[in-house]
Structure 1
Amino acid sequence: MEKRNERQVILFPLPLQGCINPILQLAKILFSRGFSITIIHTRFNAPESSNHPLFTFLQIPDGLSETETQSRDVLLQLTLLNNNCENPFRECLAKLIKPNSDSGTEEGRISCLIDDSGWVFTQDVAESFSLPRFVLCAYKFSFFLGHLLVPQLRREGFLPFPDSEAEDLVPVFPPLRKKDLSRIMGTTAQSEPLDSYLHKILETTKPASGLIVMSCEELDQDSLATSNKVFTFPIFPIGPSHIHDVPASSSSLFEPDQSCIPWLDKHETRSVIYVSLGSIVTLSESEFLEIACGLRNTNQSFLWVVRPGSVHGKDWIESLPLGFMESLEGKGKIVRWAPQLDVLAHKATGGFLTHNGWNSTLESICEGVPMICLPFVWDQLLNARFITDVWRIGIHLEGRIERREIERAVIRLMAELEGEEIQERIQVLKDEDLCIIWIESFNGEE
C-alpha cells in the first residue's frame, strides 16, 4: 500500500446497489494511490462501513419514511432524496471543509467531490465551496448520452409507434429498438417527472470538472468519440473498476451466501448456469414459477439467486411446487444472495442468466462468462442489445419469461455449438485491454 498523500477525496454514492458498487470500487482505487477517503451517505441503503475500515463514513438524514424506502418507484425515491438531502449534505460538507481551511496547511486538504450523476443538487453545493466536482457515470456511457435524449424524443412524438415498427432501430440511440425505447421512456404519467429529472442531470453535469466512466474504448468507442458534442470537460474512461489491483471487500447491501463456492467446487468446468436478476427487479409468482420450471427442465446444474421479497406477495421461494428441490437431485441450488464476483470467476460457471445491469454485464465480460439476457428496465435494455446484437456474446429472451423459452436458451448456451461460438467471442472481448488507468495523473484540481 502506498503512503497517504494527505489529500482527501469526498465521495457521495446514490443509495442504489448498482451505484454503490462502482463508487466504492473507485474509492478503493483512489485509496490504493494514496488518497484519504471520506464517504458521505444516506441512512437509506447505507453501505456497510465495517467492510471498509480504512475509509471514513459519515451518514446524513434522508427524510424517507419506511413506506418510501420500500417503494418500487425508483424515480420517486430519487426525487425525494434529491429534495431532502441538499441541506444535510451541505452541512456535512461544511464541517469537513472548515477545519482544513482554518489550518492553512495542505494536510488533509480536500481534492474534490465525486458523486453520482443522479444527484442533481451537488454541483451548486460544490461550487459554493469552490470544490471541484467529478461526476461518476454508473451506466454504459452510450446509455448515459442516449438517455439524456429521452425528453427530446418525447417532444418529437417518437412514441407511440405501429406494432410493425417494434423491431426497428432507434436512429439516435443504437442499437436500441423501438420496443425497448417504449419501456425506457415509461408511461404517460411518468413522462413529466422523468423528463424533468433527466434535464436536471444534463444541466448539473455540464458545469462539472470531469466525468468518470466505468467503461473503456473497447466497449464505448463511438460514444466516447462523440462526447465532445455534449460535454466540454475531460472524460476519464477507467474501465471495469473491479478488476484493478486493489484489496477486495464487499460493497453489497445484502449478505452473500458463501456456501455457493463449495457447491460450485463439486461441479465440472462450465457446467453451471448462474441466475441472478439483481437488487431491484421483482417478479410475479407466475414468472417465478416459469423460471423455476424452465431451469429444472434443462437438466442442467444451476445456481439461482432469489432475493427475499423479489416475488410479489411472497417472502421467498414458498411458491415452489412441493418436492421441487428434491426433484433436482442436487443439480440446483437457490440462495438469497451470492458473492457474484466469486461465482462468475469460478471455473464451474458456464453461463449467466442476467437482468443486464451494467455492473453485472462488466463482471461477466471480465470473467468470460456468456449471458442469457432478461432485461427489465432502464439501461438494462440497451446493455442487452449490445450483448446480443453488437458483441454477440449472449442470447436474448426478448422479455419472454416462459419455461420453454428459458429451457431452450439455457440449452443453446450450455450444450450446443452456438454456445461454443459465443464462448469464443466473449473470450476475445475479455482478453482486450479493458482497463485504462487515470488515477496516476489525477490530482482533483481544475
Structure 2
Amino acid sequence: MEQQPHILLLPFPAQGHIKPLLSLAELLCHAGLHVTFLNTDHNHHCLTHLQPLSAHFPTLHFDSISDGLPTDHPRNIQFMRDILFSVKSVTKLRFRDLLADLSTKSERPVTCVIADSIMSFAIDIAKELGVRVMTFWALSPCSLWSFLCFPKLIEEGQLPVGDDDMDRMVRGVPGMEDLLRRRDLPGLYRLKLDDPFFISIIEDIMAMTRTSALIFNTFDNLEDPTISHIASLFSRIYTIGPLTTLLTSRIEHDVSRSLSSFNNLCEADRSCMTWLDSQSLRSVVYVSFGSTGLMTRGQLLEFWHGMVNSGKPFLWVVRRDGIEGAEGEHPIPEELQEGTKERGFLVDWAPQEEVLAHQAVGGFLTHNGWNSTLEGIVSGVPMVCWPTIADHQINSRLVSEVWRIGLDMKDTCDRSTIEMMIRAVMEERREEMMKSMDRIVKLAHDCVDQGGSSYHNLDKLIEDIKQV
C-alpha cells in the first residue's frame, strides 16, 4: 500500500495566521493526507481544547515548539517585535532539530512543509534536509504585491512614506497606479526603511520566491489582476479561499467537530448570540478590531460616542488587552452608559463567523484584517473600515474603492465621522453597497462549489503534494 504524504504546517504564532491554516489542515486530512500542525508551546496550550477533536481526524497530529519567550510574556501586538525576533532565533534552531527527527527518524517522514510566509527560516531548513517546502500567505494578495514591488517603489522615489501629503498617489505598484495613495500602502511602509522589523519582513517576503508553490486564502474573481502579476514570480500559485467556506462546501460533517469551530486563542462569549436573537432584522452593527487591534482610551471613547449617537444597536468586542493605557478607574460618561444599556452589548470575544451570519447583523465596523474582510464578504455584510496595521490599509481601500462594499475611515477617529459612516452603511448608502456585495458573495460561493476555481485549485494542490 502506497504511503500517504506527511505535511507539516507551520503558522506564525498569531490568531490571524493560525486560523486559516487550521482550515487547510482539515481539508488536507479529509483528502487522506497526514498532517502535523506545529504551534508554539504558548499557543498550543491556548488551543488544548482542540486535542479531543483529534479523534475525528485520525491523520492529524498537534505538536509544539518554543517561541523562546518567558511564560509570562504578554505576546500581544505591542510586543510583536519580541515575538518576531525570538521566533527567528530560538524557534528556528529548534525547528531544524524537530524537522530532522520527523524527516529521518519518524515512521512517517515529513514530505512537505507548508510554512507561513513570516516563518521563512523554514525554507532553507527544509531544503537543507531535502524536504519540499511551500509558502502560505495569510494576508491579502494585494498587500503581497505591494511588498514585492518594494524595489520598484524605492527606485521611483515613492519610499520612504513620510507624514507629509499622505494622499499623494503611489505609482510604483503596477495595476494599482490610480488606486493607492500613500496612506493605503500596508502599515509596514510607515516604518523607517532601516528599521530592523521592516527589513526582517521584507527579507521574509523576498525569500518566498525560493519555494515550490504559493498558497493564498482568496478566490480568483476577487483579485484576478493582482494574482496575474504575482504569478510571474512564482512557479505555482494556488488560490483556495475563502478557506472556511471551502471547508463547508467540501466536507459534510457536524460543525461542532470541525477544527474551524475551535480555532480561536480566545474563548468566545456566546451570550451575544442570545442577545442577537432578540434584535430586528439587519439592525445591528457588529464591531470588532480583531485579535491584535489596539486603541487608546481616547479612541475608545470616540467610537463609543459615535455608536451610541448613531442610534443603532451594536455588538462590540472590547478585548481586555486591546486598550492602551487602560489601567485604573476611569469614569465612563453617563450618556454612554445609558446608550449602551438601551441598545448595546459588549463582550471580550465573539464567535465572529456566527455573528456575521446572523440575520440581525446589518453592518460590520472592522479593522480589515484579511480573515475578517473575507468573513464580512462571505456573509454579505457591508463594512466601515478602520485599518491599523499589516495589510489592513490596502484591504480597506479595496473594500471602499474597488469592490464598493463599504466605507474607509482610515487615519480618522472622531465621533461625528463614525456616526455618519454607520448611518451611511445601515441606511443612506446601503442599497448601492448591497448590489455590489450580492455580486461578490455569489462569486465567492461559486468558487468553492464543485467545479469552482478554489475547489479545483485545492484538488491541484493535493495532487501536487502527492507527487513528491
Q: TM-score, normalised by structure 2?
A: 0.86
Per-residue Cα deviation, 1:9-35 (whole angstroms, up to 9, x for no partner): 211110011101111111111112112
Q: One-letter code of the match for 1:48?
A: L
- Aligned match of 2:62: 57
How far has the Cα of 1:310 moved from its partner? 1.1
Question: Aligned equivalents of 1:371 and 1:206: distance in 2?
Answer: 33
How far has the Cα of 1:380 moved from its partner? 0.2
Question: Aligned equivalents of 1:59 and 1:382: distance in 2?
Answer: 33
- Aligned match of 1:93: 99
**8 Å contact from structure 2 (residues 118, 205) kept in 1:** no
Per-residue Cα deviation, 1:317-368 (whole angstroms, up to 9, x for no partner): 9653347334444310000000000000101110100000000000000010
How far has the Cα of 1:415 moved from its partner? 1.9
1:21-420 to 2 correspondences below 5 Å:
21-46=19-44, 48-52=47-51, 53-54=53-54, 55-65=60-70, 66-67=72-73, 69-70=75-76, 72-100=78-106, 108-150=108-150, 152-154=152-154, 156-159=156-159, 165-173=165-173, 174=176, 175-181=179-185, 183-188=187-192, 191-231=194-234, 233-243=235-245, 244-245=247-248, 246=251, 247=258, 248-314=260-326, 320-322=332-334, 324-416=336-428, 418-420=429-431
**8 Å contact from structure 1 (residues 138, 214) kept in 2:** yes
**8 Å contact from structure 1 (residues 214, 239) kept in 2:** yes
The yes-or-no answer on 1:439 pairing with 2:458 is yes
The yes-or-no answer on 1:422 pairing with 2:428 is no
Distance 1:377 1:390, change over 3 A: same
**8 Å contact from structure 2 (residues 186, 390) kept in 1:** no
How far has the Cα of 1:63 moved from its partner? 1.2
How far has the Cα of 1:71 moved from its partner? 6.1
Q: Considering only aligned residues, what root-mean-square deviation do their CA atoms show, in Å?
A: 2.4
Question: Aligned equivalents of 1:93 and 1:20: distance in 2?
Answer: 19
Question: Aligned equivalents of 1:391 and 1:194: distance in 2?
Answer: 31
Q: One-letter code of the match for 1:42?
A: T
Unaligned stretches of 5+ residues in structure 1: none
How far has the Cα of 1:111 moved from its partner? 3.4
Q: TM-score, normalised by structure 1?
A: 0.90
Distance 1:267 1:42, change over 3 A: same
Distance 1:257 1:25, change over 3 A: same
Per-residue Cα deviation, 1:239-269 (whole angstroms, up to 9, x for no partner): 2101122434221111101011111111111
Q: Secondary structure at the match of 2:194?
A: helix
**8 Å contact from structure 1 (residues 271, 300) kept in 2:** yes
Distance 1:80 1:156, change over 3 A: farther
Larger mean Cα displacement after TM superposition, 364-373 or 123-132: 123-132
Distance 1:293 1:385, change over 3 A: same
Question: Aligned equivalents of 2:276 and 2:387: distance in 1?
Answer: 26
How far has the Cα of 1:133 moved from its partner? 0.8
Count of residue pairs the alignment pairs up: 434
Question: Aligned equivalents of 1:274 and 1:9: distance in 2?
Answer: 37
Q: One-letter code of the match for 1:7?
A: P
**8 Å contact from structure 1 (residues 356, 373) kept in 2:** yes
Q: One-letter code of the match for 1:24?
A: L
